[in-house]
Amino acid sequence: MSAIALVGAQWGDEGKGKTIDILASKADMVVRAMGGSNAGHTVVTDGVTYKLHLIPSGILYPGTVCVIGNGTVISPAVILKEIRGLKDHGVSMDDLRIDARAHVILPYHVAMDELSEKSLGKGDIGTTKNGIGPCYMDKAERTGIRMCDLVKPEVFREKLARNIAVKNKILGALYGAEPMNADKIFDEYSEYAKLLAPYVCDTSVLVYDAIKAGKKVLFEGAQGALLDLDVGTYPFVTSSHPTSGGFCVGTGIGPTLIDDVIGVCKSYTTRVGKGPFPTELLDEMGEHIRRTGFEYGTTTGRPRRCGWLDTVILRFAVRVNGLTALAVNKLDTLTGIDKIKVCVAYTKNGERIENFPTDISDLEGCEPVYVEVDGWKENIESVRSYDDLPAAAKAYIGLIERETGVPVKMIGVGPDREQNINK
């Protein structure tokens, strides 16, 4: 490991937290670059489950510097709750750093997120309603409040007053909502600022210096490639760039400083919320995968939609991220299924489609082209060597490698950090 970026290769929820946690054991620094508390990473170690939203998974390793980059959006209340929860488990926060340029989620962002989704009715996007999108909108409009503003009381007061005046007009005119009180928000967030100020700095310098010094740096992705604002299944996407390019703009370092990009996927496909899903299973098999894989959102608790593995999506992720390897999680979830299907292409109007469509409307009428392979009945949760996997499981991994063109380097066979195979 030198500088490695780890990204989601599907619609998020691929088990990145576990994979990052494993790689973080050898890292000097773990860097988060995009998204906000809408992301959720679950790490299980020694029987203890940690649900992380903003803080990088490397925080569980003493001495590992954990960076939240400029491309993230920060909810002060959420991150302070995370900090308190981790401290209660004896986890030190001494090595946590937050970039001064990261934008702050404020109450009007949350209100506008909730009200906007409600106004769309059945046409809603399915956001987590945590204010992520409206915060990124302010960032794009150049009216956002950053961490460097939050920790300077006078600057924060001035910018907050200006923004509140505008937001109250919007909330009232569009949604009939009650106006927000700038003084109340200032008082509340000033207390947050005092607690967060020790962590705030220019993290791009820290990351650059670490790489140049030969330190092992791990870039921690959030969500997944299919949720990227530009290349994902628009409009059912997130408000940031969870592809590998997002690490550069989200941390302030150049692309030539990243050596490898690992894509994380499940042995099947899931997504939360609305949007197209060609291999979705709306039958007992889909419910079986949901129950067996415990497919419920880390952040929302919503049941995830489940379906067979889609290699059209994985090839898309390989292309847009420049993936050099894959990490396949939850292979154990497929244990006991007699025949497993894998989507290798789509068909529409008699035409075979091997590349994921750019317009989701083009997915209408697309039918998955499946290959069917033998399953396995052996319990693989205690397997730690690739050679010890059942032949059918190894054949399944081989199929993924052939269809994507990149090697599978890690295989998850259970939720604990020890339940992993290095190939």
**Active-site annotation holds for 13:** yes
**Which structure tokens are listed for 3?**
């500088």
Rounded-to-10 torsion of CA 55, 58, 63, 65: -60
**Active-site annotation holds for 41:** yes
Pick the catalytic residue: 21, 28, 41, 228? Answer: 41
Listed in order, strand segments (DSSP E) in 14-138 are 29-32, 41-45, 48-52, 65-68, 73-74, 96-99, 103-104
The 3-state DSSP class for residue 308 equals: coil
Could you write out the DSSP letters of every residue in 312-343?
HHHHHHHHHHT-SEEEEE-GGGGTT-SEEEEE
Contact of 125 with 236, CB cutoff 8 Å: yes
DSSP letter assigned to residue 177: P
Rounded-to-10 torsion of CA 413, 415, 416, 420: 20
Q: What element of type H or E holds 365?
A: none
Distance CA 245, CA 241 (A): 7
- 346-363 residues labelled b (16+ CB within 10 A) or e (exposed): beeeeeebeebbeebeeb
**Which structure tokens are listed for 221?**
């992705």
Does residue 150 come out as left (phi exceeding 0), alpha (psi in the -120 to 50 range) or beta? Answer: alpha
Distance CA 400, CA 315 (A): 10
Count, in order, helices (H) and strands (E) of the chain. 12, 20
Residues 6+ apart with CB under 8 A from 388: none
Pick the catalytic residue: 13, 113, 228, 310? Answer: 13
Residue identified by tokens 């860097």 is 31
Other Cβ atoms within 10 Å of 147 Cβ, number = 25
CA distances from 304 to 18, 286, 293, 341 (A): 18, 10, 10, 19
Tell me the catalytic residues.
13, 41
